[in-house]
Structures are given as structure tokens and as C-alpha cells.
Amino acid sequence: MRELTYWQAISEATVQCMAEDPTVLVLGEGVDDHKGTFGTTKTAFERYGAARVVDVPNSENACAGIAIGAAANGMRPLVVHTRADFMFLAMDALVNLAAKWRYMYGDQGGAPVVTRGVVGRGWGQGATHSQSPHATFGHYAGLYVATPASPADAKGLLVQALRGDTPVVLIENRNLYPMTGPVPEEPEPVPFGVGRIARAGDDVTVVAASLMVAEALRAADQLATRGVGVEVVDVRSIRPLDERIICESVARTGRLVVADTSWARYGFAAEVAAVVAETVPEALRAPVRRVTLPDCPAPVSWPLEEAFHPGADEIVEACLALVGDRRGELPRLTSAAAGFHGPY
């Protein structure tokens, strides 16, 4: 199978869905410029022009309202935010309207608007530019929330979102855009709520989302040299969440680490820990470990922000603690996001 980067996979999914469905249109700030939102909307604009790839001003709430109204009238809007932080300005439209439309109006049609939000550390851009709000949106019934970790899933989940009837939030970590991997040429959908075993192992389960899947795989590679088998579960979507694949893995290994790019409290890591505690409590041979952000906003300093975000090294430490081992001579690991140079 040919290989694409993560951003190329998103671009291809967008173009193919626009080709097969004339009601699909793209809205966002800068979707029509020469960079095309990290390249993901550039080809769509070149092929379909400003009538279907629409640049909008800084008006997140208004744009979400327009998109939801269009979706309720049969269109398929794809809204793109180059900074997911500003999706908070669209919360009323997404949570109070899109998520509840079908329930409030007796299943007389929904508002299947799709929203892409880009997250991830920058170079010390501070508290309002370095947060990952997937758990915030995942809290609300009526929304699907996905965190693709591979190029194939970046394409397949977007295809599924643009064909489905449920409003969807797709959270993309900008540090994944250069990642390459096999991607089907056809627009094959990847269903929500079906996770995957990214790596098999017998000693510790690491449940991860988005960029932390890559970090978990790097940690697993190093721990294998110590004889510790790490099973990496990529949930793909946090709502719906594939509870079965999580619980079956923990039932095999008896140990759980949850790795996330957001905070521990009330977040994805807390939800996974609760699911395991409720479903397979007898399987746990050690307390659950969470690898997440420190409980404070992101600092405005590149070196401090580098220290703020956890990565493979922290996952290694958590796994070793669960199996009663110590790091010893194992070398430190750099983050999968090391070397990021922007532009955002």
C-alpha cells in the first residue's frame, strides 16, 4: 500500500468526499491561502474554489451557527480551526444546538456538522494556545469526538464523519502532520467506537489517544529491551469509547497506564480509569497510572513548555513502576514532537 503523511491523508479524504458529495463544503480561517491549513485544504481549494472552500473571518461562534444551519438543511459543512483553543467560542452552537438537535426535535433529522480542531504544543505560546479540548467535547452526549493517531485513521475517520448523521469533532495534533504511514487509496471509512491494538504485549496496557499513541509505541520499544511487554491501545475515538478493547487488554496484562495530552482531572484518563474500575476491577494487579499534563495552564516559555508536556519518557517510568522495576541504565527518550518548528 502506498504511504502518505497525516496531512496528505486528510487532504485526500476531503477532496474525495467533496467529489462524491456536492453538498460537502469547507469553512475556516485561512483554508484558501497558499498553506491551506497545514496543506490539508490546499488541494480542495485549488479544485473546488472559493464557492466550496470558504475563508471566514475570526467569527468562531457565527461560523459554527452558519454551519449547523446549513447541516440542518441538507449540506455537509466541514469547519476547520487551526487552533482548537478557539473552538470554545463555538461551544454554544456545538453543544446546545448540534449535539442536541436530533433529541430535541423528535429524531426529525440532525445537524451532521463536522469540526476539525488542531492542537499541540508550539514554542512557548502559552495557556491559550497549548491545550487539547477533546475531553471537553467528549463530555456531551450527542457529539462524536475522535483523535486520529495514524495517517490511515486521519483519512478514514474524516470519511466516516462526512458520511454520517452525527455531529463530529475531530482533534488533530499538529505534531502528527509529518507522520507517514500506509493509507488506502479509496475513501474507506473507519467507524467510531472501534479501537485498535497498535502493539501487542503481556505485561502492561497503555491506553492512549492522538500523539500519545506515538509516544507509547516509542516507550514500548524501549521497554521491550528490558523484557517488559507493553500493549498499546489506540482508542481512535473518545466518544464513543471502545470499552471492550480496553477491558480485554487490562484483563490480560493486569496493569494500566493511560496517556493523554490533556489534564488528568475529569478528562479522558479519568474516564478510562473509571471504565476499568467499574468493569474489570478484579483484573488490576496494581493501581492505575495516569500520564498527563501537570495540573496548571501551559507556561509561556519554550523550555518550560517542553517540560510541561509528558511523552515517552514519562510512560516508560509509569510502566516500570507498575512492574516493580527501575530505570537503571535505560537512556532518556526525546519527545516525538521534538524538532517542531511551526508555523503555529
Percent of the chain at pLDDT exceeding 90: 83
Residues known to be catalytic: 129
What are the strands, taking DSSP E only, across 22-125? 24-28, 53-55, 76-81, 114-119
pLDDT higher than 90, residue 305 = no
Average pLDDT over residues 184-196: 98
pLDDT higher than 90, residue 96 = yes
Q: Are 172 and 148 in contact (CB under 8 A)?
A: yes
Q: Set out the domains of the chain in order of their start, with CATH numbers.
A: 2-183 (3.40.50.970), 196-323 (3.40.50.920)
Q: Are 217 and 198 in contact (CB under 8 A)?
A: yes
Q: Are 8 and 180 in contact (CB under 8 A)?
A: no
Q: Are 80 and 45 in contact (CB under 8 A)?
A: no
pLDDT higher than 90, residue 303 = no
pLDDT higher than 90, residue 165 = yes
Task: Choose the weakest-confidence range: 133-137, 148-152, 299-303.
Answer: 299-303
What pTM was estimated for this model as a whole?
A: 0.96
Question: Which residue has 481549494 as its cell numbers?
Answer: 45
Average pLDDT over residues 190-200: 98
Average pLDDT over residues 254-267: 97
∠174-178-180 over CA atoms, to 5°? 130
Q: Are 224 and 241 in contact (CB under 8 A)?
A: no
Query: Could you tell me the three cell numbers for 117?
Result: 480542531
Q: At what angle do helices 312-322 and 211-224 cross, to 10 degrees?
A: 50
